[in-house]
Amino acid sequence: MSERQAQAHPHVTLDTVARRAGVSLATASRALNGTTRVREELRQRVRAAADVLGYIPNAHAQALASASNNTVGVICHDVGDPYFAAIAGGVMRAAAEQDLLVMLASTFREPEREIAYVSMLRAQRARAILLIGSGFQDRLWEQSLAAELAPYVRAGGRVAVVSRHRSLRVDAVLPENRAGAAALARALLALGHREFAVLSGPAELTTVADRLAGFREGLAAGGAALPPERVVHGAFTREGGHAAARELLARTDVPPPTCVFAVTDVMAVGALAAFREAGVRVPEDISLAGFDDIPLVRELTPPLTTVALPLTAMGQDVMALALREPAGRRSRVLRVGGEVVLRASTAPPARPDHNSRRGMSR
């Protein structure tokens, strides 16, 4: 091509080359960067079009493509949630030791968004995809996600998950949500409580189902029950916990509980604020417990009783699983136990005639 021809086409894009060659943009990209095998006839057509048009590949885009194998994609529900932030911090610490770049995305608990992000990371040729957070009890979603991940894994991509996805046969770090909630129930029973309520997240989340089931089992083993009307569902957020606690206080169809279990610490933080606004004292009028042990809860007044999970270590562990060589067709599962930590937000229940219970009748 002559210098004059090149000067006549100073802003030729890859899209222009694709149209000239009569192929898709993706095919044109593959033909020119050599990342995937393309039929020889198509490759020659694309290169001929590039030569005629004077197409000069974007050096910055090529650099990004060549570096994509040093990229790890992390998809979580909400990085603003301290639970996910702590796990992501562990992932980043482990990735930094391997000189890997972490791309972080929040789905805000929208199943379709999660699948879309997986597709984007596949297109970026990320070295590994980490899915952090509860799965959904939704067969169609499970099938769609598995279908999106299967070709990525076959092409050499690595997938590892935290706290989810019973149907995905990938390496996983699984906190013992059910056992941890059962242990918490036993500890609260040991304090003398018999009347409980639960502030629960969305029922379709597997983490919610496991923690609620475990808590019920722990109560049943101690001879206590959890009536359905004592379970209040809300968003898996501080605002969700606040709203659920207000709804619980407003109920008059059942006697007030002496102890409330919020299935996440973040919901417990919202519940604590709602109780304070209603003049209900913790733990004098009602005990409150959570799950996860995010750093914030140790600084609350009063500090929160919870089930402690090693969140940062879980992030490091899932990164390590993703970087190890595959174990054939078998997936590796690392189970992480939780530890019940009793703090000042729980205490033995007050006597029924105690004046401090007056706030609960509002």
What is the sign, positive or negative, of the torsion defined by CA atoms of 83, 86, 92, 97?
negative
Residue bearing the bigger pLDDT, 239 or 5 = 239
Give me the number of domains the chain comprises.
3
The verdict on 101 and 37 lying in the same domain is: no
SS3 content of the chain, % helix, strand, coil (to 5): 50, 15, 35
Average pLDDT, rounded, for the chain: 87
Q: What is the CATH number of the domain that holds 198?
A: 3.40.50.2300
The verdict on 138 and 286 lying in the same domain is: no
Confidence of residue 146 (pLDDT cuts 50, 70, 90): confident
Give pLDDT tens digits for 92-132.
999 999 999 999 999 988 888 898 999 889 888 899 999 99
Share of the chain above pLDDT 70, in %: 87
Locus of tokens 């004077």: 54
In the DSSP assignment, the letter for residue 163 is: S
Which range of 168-177, 274-283, 322-331 scores highest in mean pLDDT? It is 274-283
Q: Is residue 352 part of a domain?
A: yes
Share of the chain above pLDDT 90, in %: 59
The parent domain of residue 101 ranges over 67-175+312-337
Q: Average pLDDT in the 201-226 region? A: 94
pLDDT for position 73: 96
Pairing between β-strand 71-76 and β-strand 128-132 as defined by DSSP bridges: parallel
The verdict on 316 and 357 lying in the same domain is: no
Residue 241 phi/psi, 5-degree rounding, is -65, -40
The rounded Cα 20 to chain-centroid distance in angstroms is 44
Q: What is the CATH number of the domain that holds 44?
A: 1.10.260.40
